[in-house]
Structure 1
Amino acid sequence: MQVIDGNIASPLGFSADGLHAGFKKRKIDFGWIVSEHPASVAGVYTTNKVIAAPLIVTKQSVEKVQKMQAIVANSGVANSCTGIQGMNDAYEMQKLTAEKLGIATDLVGVASTGVIGDLLPMDILKNGLSKIVINGNAGDFAKAILTTDTTTKTTVVTEMFGHDEVTMAGVAKGSGMIHPNMATMLSFITCDANISSETLQKALSAKVETTFNQITVDGDTSTNDMVLVLANGCAKNQEILPDTPEFDEFVAMLEYVMADLAKKIAKDGEGATKLIEVEVIKAPNSLNARMMAKSVVGSSLVKTAIFGGDPNWGRILAAVGYAGVNIPVDNIDIYLADIPVMLASSPVNFDEEEMQDVMQADAIKIVVDLHAGDSVGKAWGCDLSYDYVKINALYRT
């Protein structure tokens, strides 16, 4: 597998565009992704019981036709908690996009992100649709879905399947309300592989738990979270079937793209100054490992300690203890950036000056060794800074 420069339209047969329609004052806030022909599709959606109208509409279409040819998205207005009018607006957003492209309505997925409770301004939506084009500025789509993000998040990889090169590209947004399953997160992945919707869904479902569902910024789960994967077959490779070496290669591509995007989301948490990666090793099983890793990275006390440069291993051990996993806790090792701070559940003297240098890095890795099995789990998050409070206290103003 090779990582390359590119954008969401890098796979064969895809195009994209992004522009300023007026949902936000100045920034690019509207975009679409279009495939030459209907693509296989797979999706996962928020676990919040309150689900935004665009997600309901998109999920209905995916389940109905199991194909998708376009995704249209806006930022600035989430069209969530907007009642019957919000549902009508989401259906209209889908219908108007389909009419512009000359395709069936159910082949369009819709997504919105931004302020909850505001109705979608349909005049602004129509303005955006009047200006957007096929084969536009594909790089601007990544900007169109941002809210409080400070940077775009894109990943592109290629892999050979026999004599055919397959390209996969992913784009995501997410900065606050990040606590999957999933996060205030939108992610769209395009691929030119020949694979059925059913097999694509199997691949997505297999790896979303270890990637997007292992990030946390602030413990909140949004109403608008969604991941959609489209594969249009334009690479003309032999169809990828389940339980084959080719399927395993495809899953590895998808896992890389999702994990890379997940880490970029965690690093760009609202007000964040450091990326935190927690790896739990030698656990009884992978679920236990993931639960503990996420418990540590989600701890507000751990987050604030990392922000302050404090190697407070006691907070890490406490988060391990309340993760809900029944294991012995008398033989646990904890490492901060490869420096042991606790061995066999007892404190270790370490060089304070060396540790201070380590804690200033923009990425901090915590390793927890349980000595209780052979399984591993990872989770990603960020520190909790003064700016996080400022950003969210003033979000609507």
Structure 2
Amino acid sequence: MNSRVNQTICKTFVMVLMWHTLFFLAGCWDRREVNDVAIVLSTGIDYYNENEIELSVEIVIPETMSAAIKEGGGAPGSRTSFVESATGETMAAARSKLQQKIARHLFWGHGSATVVGEELAEKGIREHMDFFSRLPEARLRNNVFVCEGMAKDLISSLPHLEKSSSETLTELAQFQIGMDITMSELMQMFASETGGAALPMVTSISSKKDEGKMKDKTQLMLSGTAVFKGDKMIGTLDDSVTRGLLWVRNEIKSATITVDVEEGEGKVTGEMIRSYTKLIPRIENETWKITINCKVEDDVIQNASTLDLRDPKSMRMLERKIEERIEGRIKEAVEEVQQEMRVDIFNFHRSFQRKYTKEWQSAKVKWDEIFPNVEIDYEIDVKILRPGLSTDPPAVPKSEVEAI
């Protein structure tokens, strides 16, 4: 009898407890419907005047986006977004003015790209990036770019293949032919002890107007790297030097290298399969040195020479040629950045910091003086794994195929 009473009391207690937990459940008073938000795809920040910046946002047009999805992606180059702008003394002030122009709540959670105008980049961007780190909705994984000219014009462009400029910028970053820097990584660069940073440069090229639609199509393309000292842009690197920079930073994901083969009277092209770069620091007699050790595996994708790739000596000669070409690209990048820019965007300081912790504590305050004098050694090792299904060049008589 007592057992049954105890069970009844326990059940009653549990039911009362469950009932009371309902009071702690979140309500729907702060709900936000999809129809009430304006989704921001990309952001552009430009210098406006001495006291103000201009904030531009690319916003989805829901009706056209829905139509594009129903039609299987929609026609390339059709407008599925629009750009709205506002000025302010700070990013927060500009955002507030921008919200006044938009009937829906600006939602930043889907933003995939942030573009900074060149003029603003030269004046400093740290305080403007601080806005994104404090905005709860903002994604710190979105890609950051510096553009030639106005960021507003670039995010307003009508791409050839994608439905919006934000999609094109995201694809360019993922393709990894240039630097791929997120907002989170940029903030880490600014917070580093050396203060060096680098961002991909992007530019737009207008093409002929669409027949019948009379709209300018625009091609967006990466155009090198913007180099920062502190939070100010101090110069740019062209595409060739950028490739060398990627080799040093171990961020190269694809590379096609063509070399002249005097012995075979022609050219041979190799394609990188994989690559690994290791920075080996050392301090000898108070001289700071670093070795750039790069191991590369290649395939031969074209043999436009009379070189016989079946011959081991020919293969080794070809590997040396590719090693020389890679070393040349890396040297070009190191010399320009180390001697002209004089800012460490190679992350040499991290290698020294890990290995020589004690020495680094006293050296970090004068790293700007040490970095230009760091001695560089190069160790490039290329292995060709696959010379191709046909080791003999096509359309060349066997009698003319040469071995070394």
For normalisation by structure 1, the TM-score amounts to 0.31
Structure with bigger RCO (C-alpha 8 Å, 6+ apart): 1
Q: Give 1 or 2 for the bigger CA radius of gyration.
A: 2
For normalisation by structure 2, the TM-score amounts to 0.31
